[in-house]
Amino acid sequence: MRHKNTGKILLAIPVFVLTAILLINILFSSPDQHAINAVDEFYSFEQQGEFSSSWGMFHPWMKEKFAKGHYIQDRAHVFMNHFGVDTFSYSLSEPEELKNWKPVKEGPSFKNIYKINVTQTYKGKYGNFDIQQEVFAVKDKDEWTILWDYKK
């Protein structure tokens, strides 16, 4: 005699296993992996023109540098309109952990921050070109956030 729930149980096992693997990855991922994921997410938003979402990933110190509306307007205007492109591709270096870093000489100091080199590649009406930038990821409360370097 066949049990009615056997098929449901057999389907639930792979779902349970995949869920367990995902939770283990989330809980036990290294900080450098979280940092690279944050930078990747930030530039994925930028690539898709979702500047409101990318601005939301900034560290509070960065959000003080420019208002959300101003950032959205500038990013769209400069990178998309002036460069004559709809999007760009990007690559990320391996993260480098820094024990102590400041975005400006006389500014706040961040501990356990990760530096990631980002290369954005544009193909537009003025030809093909790359923009390289050091980007910094740091955990602020429970969120990984993005900082840029402003030292001169």
The full set of domain ranges for the chain reads 32-148
Residue 101's contacts (CB-CB under 8 Å, 6 or more residues apart) are 109, 110, 113, 115, 136
> Does position 3 have pLDDT exceeding 90, yes or no?
no
List 136's β-bridge partners, or say none. Answer: 115, 147
pLDDT at 152: 79
Q: Are 116 and 95 in contact (CB under 8 A)?
A: yes
Decide which of 1.25.40.10, 3.10.450.100, 3.20.20.70, 3.40.250.10 is the CATH code for 32-148: 3.10.450.100
Query: How far apart are the C-alpha atoms of 90 and 74, rounded to whole Å?
Result: 19
Q: What is the pTM of this model?
A: 0.79
pLDDT class of 21 with cuts at 50, 70, 90: low
pLDDT at 22: 57
List 143's β-bridge partners, or say none. Answer: 140
